[in-house]
Structure formats: C-alpha cells, structure tokens
Chains A and B, each alone.
Chain A
Amino acid sequence: MRKTLLSFGTVAALLAAPLQAAVEFDFKDPKGVNAISFHLDSLLEPIAGTASGITGTVHFDPANPAATKGKIHVATNSLTVPNSTMEEHLHSDGWLDAAGYPQIKFEITGLDHIESDGNTTKAHASGSFTLKGVTKEVTVPVTLTHLKGAFGKRVNKPEIGGDLLVVRGEFSISRTDFGIRPGQNEDKVADQIDLTIAIVGGAPNA
C-alpha cells in the first residue's frame, strides 16, 4: 500500500514538475516601455502609432517552451497617433469603438515550430485574437528572450533578482475581418493592419 502511494506521489510530482517550472511573467511594465505598434497605408502618409496600455501574464518555462500560455490585453483607448483629431476618429465607434470594446486581447494557447538557441526561442505562438468583439484564431511568429536575473537590475533594485521575458513579433490582420469599417474607405485607409509586438514581462523573485 505504502509502495503504491509512493508511486502515485512520484507520478504526481513528475506531472506537476513542468507546471512548477513555468514562471509567470507580468506584462504590466513598471517602466512603461511595452507597446504594440500599428501601421496602415493611407493617403499622403501611413497611419502609424502605438498602443501602450499593456497588461497580462504569460507562463513560460525555458525547458518546455511549447507549454507557454498566457494572455496579453491592450487598452483600446491607449492607441496613440501623432495627430489628436485622427486619434479621436480611431477611438470613435466608427472605427475601434474604444468605449464599447475597451480591450484588445490575445490569448496564447501554445507555441510550435520552436527553435531555441541559448536564451532565445523562436516559435509560432497560436491563440485567439479579439478586436472590437470579434475573435479569430491567429498564429504569430515570435521571438522570446529569457533574461535570467535581469528584473532587479532593470528596476534599479538588483537585490530583488528575478527574470525578464522579452517578446517580439510581427503579424498582420485585416480590418474587414474584425468589422472595422469593412469594405469602406479602402481607397484612403488600407485594409491590412501591420502589428509589431515589443513587450517585456517581469517575474521578480518571491
């Protein structure tokens, strides 16, 4: 009986091990660096800006990157462009409807096509992307850089220790797919929106 219990215990410990090894990284950056940039072709000059209201967590284990899971949320009203009038249009219900849909969400369900080299992992992140209430499955090529022990140094408190996870990636979406003026104004504003992710998550030592 005791032997059986020990065996169960060993199996449970082995199953739990990958979960324990995964570290939770918080993407609400204290230094305010995190942003997702967007770029659309338009008349005269492209519409380019950033969204900096990033929150969310990602569970990452460098030994098992395929099991990476998490969610990244972007506050819709944090989308900023250099022209305030253009920004008001962008937030209005005719475009992103920031009041009705206050968050843009990316739920990461896993990584595949993984290539690891030192502290860097290149992979395809799969998950669901929600914009203006429409959810689509997307695959985003990402590069994850695990900076061990860099959290404390970054916040000028080296005694804290902890790790950083830098996530970079680029992908494109169609505004028609997400109900953003589908088929309208395409002669003035392109349908394709190019998105660039450049974010860092922190995991201070407990």
Chain B
Amino acid sequence: MLQSPRLIVRVLAVVVVVGVLSFWAMRGAHTGWSMDKVPTTLTDEITGLTYTAYEDRYVPGIEILGGGLLAGAGLFGVSYLLGRPTPSKSD
C-alpha cells in the first residue's frame, strides 16, 4: 500500500503536521516567539519588590508551529507532483 511515492509523501506530511502541532501544544502552546529562558515573577519578602527569574527551558513559539504547518503543506503539495499509483495487475 505504501509503495506509492505520492502516498508516502502525504503520510509524511501528516506526520510532520501532527508531530509539530503536538510538540508545540505539549510545550505550552505559546503564541509568541520561541523562548529558551522562561521568565517567572517572584516577590522579595522583606521589600515587597517583584522581580523576574529565568528558568532555562525551551518553549517553542508560533514560528515553530507555523514552520511545521508550512512544511506539512509543502510536502502535501509536492505529493501532487508525484505520479498517481498505478493500478495493480489484479485490478
């Protein structure tokens, strides 16, 4: 069944889209740019000052999601350039 190049590329396109979407969603579904330092706000007890501490953690942003969806769409488009599957002799 997967011997058709068109089908292989289409499956690959779906895998890329689902993979990137899942990765983006599981890492926080951040709708801004990617972060490799995540800010958290803390409060100093004595002074009451709030300050930012950064945690080294990667959070993919909208450009990763967009890039993945574009790559998937691109692969799907490329699949149209590939030949249709030829019917087997038994058909």
Contact = CB atoms under 8 A, between A and B. Distances in A.
Contacts, number: 58
The contact size tier of chain A is 20 to 34
Contacts of B48: 166
Interface residues of B, number: 20
A41 to B, nearest CB: 13
Given A147-B46, A150-B46, A154-B46, A198 B51 contact: yes
A82 B51 contact: no
Contacts of A150: 46-47
Interface in A12-63: 31, 33-35, 37, 44-45, 50
B52 A50 contact: yes
A35 to B, nearest CB: 5
Given A35-B52, A44-B32, A44-B62, A82 B37 contact: yes
Nearest to A199: B49
Interface of A: 31, 33-35, 37, 44-45, 50, 80-84, 86, 145, 147, 150, 153-154, 164, 166, 168, 198-200
B38 A153 contact: no
B49 A45 contact: no
